[in-house]
């Protein structure tokens, strides 16, 4: 494994979050009786299997060859991905490059047939991050490749570059969209109540004064536009400052809104900004720090960011009222000129930063002693260095989408490479919250059902706002795909959301799979005993209620006003409904249910979790995984405390360079973190230890974690090197 902690933490978190979206691609959305059956995306045209895979890369093309229908194949892939991801969170040996490759292929297979319900920016981000994990994670199945991984910093740099592209583009598009709320710094006065699925804390944040909301927008611009350039800085304290700024932003978003795994995944990528010294500080481990350099430069950079923020947004403190006034003093033309000035230089800054990582890794390979190890390290450096350069090059195309002239200047060869791999979602363009919607009130679609066309009953969803007295939900890291699309549907007409006609049709039919998208506990659905005879949909505008004049809280969370009819009254056999189904190709013939063993097993597994809410299921899996990891850690600590070592009785051996234990520890330093910490050691001592390292290499490779942790407690001054050995599962 990698020779520090941050990649290990990233592997753990990214591996788990791949589960969470894979679990959501259920039969309710894509099954034979779902809203948008996935089999519609797999038109068998008689082409060869390889041609079908090239045109639409998904494993679901293999379903007929295995005797499975599309629905069963999707559920089987979901179960395999979930089981493998959960196992990887518990077993370190499964955090392997091949495991991440399989998880990425599974999710890409779902993405290809996910249609509108799976085309979010965070789905693309998860695919890109998942592919980077294939490059970063160790190949533990190949014994020789575990010996030297001097290229680790090169591949891990790609995560930092992805984080830069994500945050910088998200800040820039807010201003390039010319949205008046972002330019007027009033976006957050609407955001908390108009976001898709707010949390209860969003209600309280909405009550804050306007000057505070405007100041928060200014801080958002500083964090998303200025701070990302510090990601590529060679000065560690600049990167640490940028890290904590990003953590603050992401945590506040998590507290005020339900954005599934997106912010958690972003926090994971932020770990690429840390170094080993800071990780050891978190873990309260001993670490020999590097001498602090560039202090004057760091102060100058922070002063420049502060001065620019105050100047560009005219920040002024009103001491009498205790407020801070702010306004945007630059124009769109000036910002566009700024963007033209910094976009392409930022590309060269990224290229320079990557070159530094490549040269540093090459130098580390050249310093490895032993011809075979040096040769193997050089081969690995060449392969992964070429992969990193290729990923960086093709990422320039989507990155420069933020500025037209810069995008037009991208080299034709790079553009051709991007076009060749675009279907695999290896790199993507980003830009979140481009425009603020719901400025005049958040639009909501409310579906009503009736048995007699006289008495109408509202159909409430589990998560989206509907009932005025129901508090907002907390469902992170789950994303209810239907609830999200209901929010988008309310922004336009039903003609812009063809799937809405399919929803009305399935509810009239009383399809349980679709009803579970609205209420996982079917008994809470008002028409669970008999489907409604008639359905209709109205559009309302919702607003958060405000605190009362005496400072007390109101009894309701929301207030609403009726706007218009969204979908006319329909029933089974209705002419309008039939025409809409035919127009959008949504009407399908019933499918035969297979009686084979695999479909029946998959059906049984689904029945075991039927009726359980998705957030509860996800948090249960997470709790079980964390509990198992904690139990293993406690067992290891107890073992170490109850097994005294011989070295504790003879502490002087830890300071004797000729003692076998000391020789082993010192030899490890040459290939681990200790190379930086003990640079002052004499070359003669390292040469004396080399022969013994080669003789004991195979024996040490088979040692378990307990014995390695034992040696760490004995030798405090090399505790960090032994910890690195423990995480990697191998030495050298």
pLDDT at position 726 is 42
pLDDT at position 645 is 54
**Alpha-carbon span 330 to 500, nearest angstrom:** 43
Specify the pLDDT at position 349.
Answer: 92
What gap in Å lies between CA 715 and CA 718, rounded to an integer? 6
- Is residue 48's pLDDT more than 50? yes
Residue 231 has pLDDT above 80, yes or no: yes
Indicate the pLDDT class of residue 282, thresholds 50, 70 and 90.
Answer: confident
Query: What pLDDT sits at residue 666?
Result: 39
Beta bridge partners of 567: 537
Q: Taking residues 553-570, what's their average pLDDT?
A: 93
CA distance 280 to 603: 47
| pLDDT band of 664, cuts 50, 70, 90 | very low
| Residue 446 parent element (H or E) | strand 442-450
Q: Please report the pLDDT score of residue 675 as a whole number.
A: 41
Res. 494: pLDDT tops 80 = yes
Cβ neighbours for 401, distance < 8 A, ≥ 6 positions apart: 169, 407, 429
Higher pLDDT, 147 or 544: 544
Q: Is the pLDDT of residue 22 over 60?
A: no
Q: What is the mean pLDDT of the chain?
A: 81
Q: What is the pLDDT of residue 229?
A: 94
Q: Is residue 538's pLDDT more than 90?
A: yes
Q: What is the pLDDT of residues 55-97, one digit of tens each?
A: 889 998 888 888 888 888 888 888 888 888 888 888 878 888 8
pLDDT of residue 96: 84
What's the confidence (pLDDT) of residue 662? 40
The separation between CA 543 and the C-alpha centre of its own chain, rounded to angstroms, equals: 30
Residue 667 in this model has a pLDDT that exceeds 50: no
Asked if 344 and 406 touch (Cβ cutoff 8 Å), the reply is yes
DSSP one-letter string for 60-122: GGGTGGGT--HHHHHHHHHHHHHHHHHHHHH-GGG--HHHHHHHHHHHHHHHHH-GGGG--HH
Q: Is the pLDDT of residue 324 over 60?
A: yes
- Within 10 A of 168 (CB to CB), how many other CB atoms are there? 24
Q: Find all residues with CB under 8 Å of 455, minimum gap 6, and list them.
A: none
pTM over 0.85, yes/no: no
For residue 306, what are the β-bridge partners? Answer: none
For residues 670 and 341, which has the higher predicted lDDT (pLDDT)?
Answer: 341
* Among 103-117, 242-256, 548-562, the range of highest mean pLDDT: 242-256
Who contacts 98 (Cβ-Cβ below 8 Å, separation ≥6)? 139, 141
Q: Are 85 and 18 in contact (CB under 8 A)?
A: yes
pLDDT band at residue 548 using 50, 70 and 90 as cut-offs:
confident
Answer whether residue 208 shows pLDDT above 90: yes
Q: Residue 258 above 90 pLDDT?
A: yes
Higher pLDDT: 187 or 715? It is 187
pLDDT in tens, 595-628: 677 777 877 877 777 777 788 888 888 888 788 8
Question: Which stretches of 400-479 are DSSP H helices?
Answer: 404-408, 412-421
Helical spans, DSSP H, in 400-498: 404-408, 412-421, 481-489
Minimum mean pLDDT range among 85-94, 393-402, 587-596, 655-664: 655-664
Q: What is the pLDDT of residue 1?
A: 32
- The Cα 101–Cα 114 span in angstroms is 20
Which conformational region is residue 598 in: left (phi greater than 0), alpha (psi within -120 to 50 degrees), or beta?
A: alpha
Q: What is the pLDDT of residue 188?
A: 94
What pLDDT is stored for residue 588 in this prediction? 67
């Amino acid at each position: 494994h990698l020779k520090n902690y941050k990649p290990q933490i990233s592997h753990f978190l990214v591996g788990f979050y791949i589960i969470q979206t894979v679990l959501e691609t259920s039969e309710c959305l894509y099954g034979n009786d779902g809203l948008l059956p996935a089999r519609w995306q797999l038109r068998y045209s008689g082409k060869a299997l390889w041609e079908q895979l090239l045109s639409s890369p998904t494993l679901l093309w293999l379903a007929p060859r295995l005797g499975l229908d599309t629905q069963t194949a999707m559920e089987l892939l979901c179960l395999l991905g979930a089981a493998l991801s959960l196992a990887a969170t518990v077993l370190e040996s499964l955090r392997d490059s091949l495991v991440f490759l399989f998880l990425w292929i599974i999710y890409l297979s779902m993405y290809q047939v996910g249609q509108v319900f799976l085309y979010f920016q965070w789905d693309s981000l998860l695919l890109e991050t998942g592919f980077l994990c294939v490059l970063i994670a160790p190949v533990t199945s190949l014994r020789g490749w575990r010996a030297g991984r001097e290229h680790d910093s090169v591949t891990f740099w790609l995560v930092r570059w992805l984080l830069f592209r994500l945050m910088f583009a998200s800040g820039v598009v807010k201003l390039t969209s010319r949205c008046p709320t972002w330019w007027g710094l009033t976006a957050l006065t609407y955001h908390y109540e108009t976001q898709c699925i707010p949390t209860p804390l969003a209600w309280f944040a909405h009550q804050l004064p306007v000057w505070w909301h405007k100041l928060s927008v200014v801080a958002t611009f500083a964090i998303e536009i200025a701070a990302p350039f510090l990601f590529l800085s060679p000065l560690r304290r600049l990167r640490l400052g940028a890290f904590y700024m990003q953590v603050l932003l992401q945590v506040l978003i998590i507290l005020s809104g339900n954005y599934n795994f997106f912010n958690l995944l972003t926090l994971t990528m932020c770990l690429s900004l840390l170094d080993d010294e800071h990780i050891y500080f978190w873990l309260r481990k001993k670490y020999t720090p590097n001498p602090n350099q560039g202090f004057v430069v760091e102060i100058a950079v922070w002063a420049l960011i502060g001065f620019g923020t105050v100047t560009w947004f005219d920040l002024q403190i009103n001491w009498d009222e205790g407020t801070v006034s702010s306004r945007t003093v630059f124009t769109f033309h000036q910002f566009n000129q700024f963007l033209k000035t910094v976009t392409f230089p930022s590309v060269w800054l990224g290229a320079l930063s990557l070159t530094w990582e490549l040269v540093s890794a090459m130098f580390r390979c050249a310093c490895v002693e032993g011809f075979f190890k040096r040769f193997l390290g050089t081969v690995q450096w060449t392969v992964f260095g070429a992969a990193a350069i290729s990923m960086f090059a093709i990422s320039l195309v989507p990155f420069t989408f933020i500025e037209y002239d810069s995008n037009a200047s991208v080299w034709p060869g790079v553009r051709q490479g991007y076009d060749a791999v675009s279907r695999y979602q290896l790199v993507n363009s980003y830009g979140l919250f481009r425009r603020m919607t719901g400025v005049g009130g958040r639009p909501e679609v409310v579906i009503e059902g009736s048995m007699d066309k006289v008495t109408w009953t509202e159909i409430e969803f589990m998560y989206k706002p509907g009932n005025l007295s129901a508090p907002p939900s907390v469902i992170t890291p789950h994303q209810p795909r239907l609830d999200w699309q209901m929010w988008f549907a309310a922004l336009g007409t039903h003609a812009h959301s063809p799937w809405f006609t399919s929803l009305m049709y399935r509810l009239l039919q009383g399809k349980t799979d679709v009803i579970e998208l609205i209420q996982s506990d079917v008994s809470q659905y008002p028409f669970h005993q008999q489907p409604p005879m008639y359905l209709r949909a109205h559009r309302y505008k919702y607003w958060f209620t405000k605190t009362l004049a005496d400072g007390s809280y109101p009894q309701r969370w929301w207030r609403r006003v009726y706007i218009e009819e969204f979908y006319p009254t329909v029933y089974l056999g209705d002419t309008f409904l039939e025409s809409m189904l035919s127009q959008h190709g949504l009407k399908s013939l019933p499918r035969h249910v297979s009686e084979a063993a695999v479909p029946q097993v998959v059906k049984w597994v689904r029945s075991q979790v039927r009726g359980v809410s998705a957030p509860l299921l996800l948090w249960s899996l997470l709790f079980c995984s964390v509990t198992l990891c904690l139990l293993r850690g406690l067992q290891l600590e107890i073992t170490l405390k109850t097994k005294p070592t011989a070295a504790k009785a003879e502490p002087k051996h830890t300071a004797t360079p000729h003692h076998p234990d000391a020789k082993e520890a010192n030899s490890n330093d040459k290939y681990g973190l200790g190379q930086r910490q003990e640079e002052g050691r004499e070359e003669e001592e390292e040469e004396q230890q080399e022969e013994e390292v080669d003789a004991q290499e195979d024996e040490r490779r088979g040692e378990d974690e307990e014995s390695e942790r034992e040696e760490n407690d004995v030798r405090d001054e090399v505790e960090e090197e032994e910890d690195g050995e423990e995480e990697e599962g191998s030495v050298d």
